[in-house]
Each structure stands twice: as C-alpha cells, then as structure tokens.
Amino acid sequence: MLQKRNIALLTIGILEHNKQGISNIYFRRCFFVCFVFLLFYLKGFAQAELKQPNLRFYLSEDKSSYAGMVMVNQVWTRYIWNNPDNEGNQQPGELDFALRRSRVILYTFLMDKVFVYTQVGHDGLNYRSGNPALSLYNAQTEYILAKNKLHLGFGLSTWNGLSRYNNAKLLDFLCVDNPGFVYPVGGSFDRFGRQLGVYMKGTLDRLHYRVSAAKPFETGFDQNTESTTVERKNNNLAFKGYFNWQFFDAEGQLFPYMTMNNLGQAKLLHIGAGFYYHPDAMWESIAGSSQPKDIFLYSADVFLDMPLGNKGAITSYLGYYNYDFGENYIKSSGSVNVGRLGASQTLPQGAGNAQWETGTGTIVRGEIGYLLPKKIIRSGLQPFAAFTWKDFEALDEAGLQYDAGINVLISDHNIKWTLQYSNRPVYNHVNNLNKIAEYKGQVVFQTQIYF
C-alpha cells in the first residue's frame, strides 16, 4: 500500500509542478520515471505464461470454413506542447487522455471460396469530442478465384495502393501510430483510408500485387473561388496499386493489412512500389485562374524484419513519397487534436498539435527498432526511432522531425505498452517566407489490448 501511495503522490506532484510552468525537460523526466515504475511492477505479471484466447470458430469438420472476431482498444495518455497563436504567443501545454481506436472486426471464410470482412468502431475520442458515433470502416466480400494467385473483392475496403504504410496493420506498428501523410486523401476523398470499389490481389511467385478501382467519396467545390489549389467535386474513378517483391518469407494475404513490426517471427525483406491516380480531382490555381488537375501520387519503399541469433530482432522501414495535387497544395492535421484557439488566432497550420501533414512535394520516412533478447520481461523490450523529412512546394523550408520511444511487449502485440516522444515543426512567416520558427513536441503513452 505504501508503494502504491508513493507512486500516486509522484504522479500528483508532476501535475502540480506542471501547473506552475515546469520546463519541458523536467516534465519529460518525470513522465519517464512514472513509466519505469510501471514497468517494474509489471515484471512479475509478465513472467507468468500468457495463453492467448482464440476467437475463431470452425464451421466445418475439415476446418475449411470458419468465423472469427478481433477486438482492439488503443488508449492514449499524453502531454502536448501546443502550437503558439499567429502572433507567436506561447500557449499552455495540456495533459489529456484519448481513445485512439476502438474496433471490432468480424470475418467469415467459407469453403476456400469466399471471404467476408466487416469492421466497426470509433476513432479519436477525447474530452472535447461529442458523443461517439459508431463508424463503418470495412464491409467487403471477396471471391477466391485461384488460391493465393487471384482474389476478387468488392465493397468498402482498404486494399490500397501507394505504399506498404498505406496498407499497414494498425495492431502491428513499430511507432505508436501511423504518420498522417500515408493517407494523403484522408478526410476528403476517402473515409479512414477506405474507399468503395473493386480490387484484385494475389501472389505470383515472389511478387505480391494489389490493384483497385474505386469511387472516391464526393468532396470539394463545384468551382474554385479561392486563390489556392483545392479539392474539386467530381464523379471520376480513382486507380491505385501496390506491388512488392518478397525475398524470403511471404506474408499472409487473406486480410488486407501488412505488418510494420513482425517481431522477428519470420524473415521479411520486401521491396515495393505503388501509385494513386485520380483524374480531374483538384482545382489547380495558377496565376489567378483555375483549371482541373489530376491527383497523381507514387512511392517506393523497403521493409526489413529479421530474427537475430540472440532471439532478438531488427525491424526497419524506409519509404520515399512523391505527391502531386497541384501547385502549392498543402493540408494540415493533428491526431486527436484538443487545440482551443479560434480560427482568427491560429497559425495557418492550426492550433494544438496540428502540423503540415501532406501536400504537393516529397516525403522520406525512416524507422528502425531493435527487439532486445527476452531477459527483462517474458516478451521483450523494443526501443525504436523514426524520422520524417517533408519538402512541400508551398513552404520555403523543408522540415525534419523525429520520433523515439520503446515498446513493452507483454504478450507480443496483443498486450503492449508504447511510450513515445515526437516533435513537429511550427511554421510562421519570417521575412515574408514561410519558414520554421520553432519545434513543439508531445509525449504519448499508449496501452494496446487486442484479441
């Protein structure tokens, strides 16, 4: 009881000092101390053998037909150093809690011929959100025309083009979350990275392919009265594809997602390339006049996840993205943002933790993680680091930002804690140029449970 009371007093002390305006360094140290205390008390729990429940039910004696369910909750505890206002006045930081994702997945596989997949849930709930609404993420039916080689599917799906990250499994991230730029039309022409359409996928020798034709959700303007490039209302199809060569082990392809952190459970070295093409999807503003403009995006990436001789593992990703939405197009966003400034007070990139996320230009993303040998707790510790370099046409200075943290794998990804610090550039006008004025950051502690 005394030990628990000491931890509680330490946590209260951190919050009280924060109210008095503690330094960023002191707060990060206190946050880390709390994390170490939690890790210490977790050790005894994690030493026990953990048996994962199997939420799959066989519908036939030969097990060729089955139904299953997946449930996941990702909860954030974080501290945000908020963006200043448009006059450079610093804004107070904020401690908050957020439900990053809560999902239920239902799937049925019948006679090696048909696969049905549905996902519902809610994302991004915080104390400033309204009543949470149930969202439909996936609703797709797939026909297996030639096992592993040709599957044909229809519906609302995330069989996307562009990159591995654009098809990533939300349960298997190396970092705490996906970078927002990997969903470049998120919130406009798609919903949560999904679109309605038809797709084909399969594996031929070592080449995995996925191609899709989709009807993007309608958004934008009938005419452009702005002086900037904006989305255009249209009913055109979008075409997308991703192709990757699998040098060693192959990944499963029944579900639409690719792992970003396989914990050395297979030898994975995959090199891929992809695209997204949506004709006449933008109003491009040039010299005061607007004309329809295609969206054309492409990328190339490499993913490595290898077991090591000491029962550890190395995980890494490197991706190059080239986006063309039209001249000087740029869009900002902030993950589960709690910024409070009014529209007349905010920087162009937004309040809270908003940043310039995507736009016409190039992006390079790199990640690396090392799964330590399983000595401290049964499933292991995995420190990681990542960087993102963005060079957008609308900005006068490229931005380099980083993430660093550690995964505590209590039972692989099924029971996982992640502690991560991230920074972001804050842009403002300096000598009539849109350049970086300073950097801000946030600390996130995520608890993930899924079965």
The residue to which tokens 């954030």 are assigned: 76
For every residue of 263-307, DSSP letters joined together read TTSS-EEEEEEEEEEEEEEEEEEETTEEEEEEEEEEEEEEEEEEE
User: What is the distance, to the nearest Å, from the Cα of residue 189 to the centroid of all Cα atoms in its chain?
Assistant: 18
Residues with Cβ within 8 Å of residue 215, at least 6 apart in sequence? 195, 196, 197, 235, 237, 238
Checking if the pLDDT of 12 tops 80, the result is: no
CA distance 250 to 269: 9
CATH superfamily entry for domain 49-450:
Porin (2.40.160.10)
Q: Which helix (H) or strand (E) holds 392?
A: strand 381-392
User: Residue 198: beta bridge partners?
Assistant: 154, 213
Q: Which helix (H) or strand (E) holds 75?
A: strand 66-80
User: Residue 276: beta bridge partners?
Assistant: 240, 297
**What pLDDT, in 10s, does the model give residues 366-382?**
999 999 987 655 668 99
The confidence score (pLDDT) of residue 245 equals 97
Checking if the pLDDT of 291 tops 80, the result is: yes
pTM, 2 dp: 0.89
Q: What residue ranges do the domains of the chain occupy?
A: 1-48, 49-450
Q: Which helix (H) or strand (E) holds 34?
A: helix 24-47
The confidence score (pLDDT) of residue 1 equals 43
CA distance 351 to 91: 9
User: What is the distance, to the nearest Å, from the Cα of residue 323 to the centroid of all Cα atoms in its chain?
Assistant: 18
Checking if the pLDDT of 311 tops 80, the result is: yes
Q: Distance between terminal CA atoms of the chain? A: 32
**What pLDDT, in 10s, does the model give residues 210-262?**
999 999 999 999 987 778 899 999 999 999 999 999 999 999 888 889 999 99
Crossing angle of helices 2-19/24-47, nearest 10°? 160
In whole angstroms, how far apart are CA 258 and each of 10, 313, 346, 367? 40, 18, 37, 15
Q: What is the biggest distance separating any 2 CA atoms in the chain, rounded to whole angstroms?
A: 73
Q: Is 345 exposed, middle or buried (0-12, 13-18, 19+ CB in 10 A)?
A: middle
**Most confident option among 27-36, 245-254, 284-293:** 245-254
Residues with Cβ within 8 Å of residue 124, at least 6 apart in sequence? 98, 99, 100, 335, 336
Report whether 241 contacts 276 (CB < 8 A): no
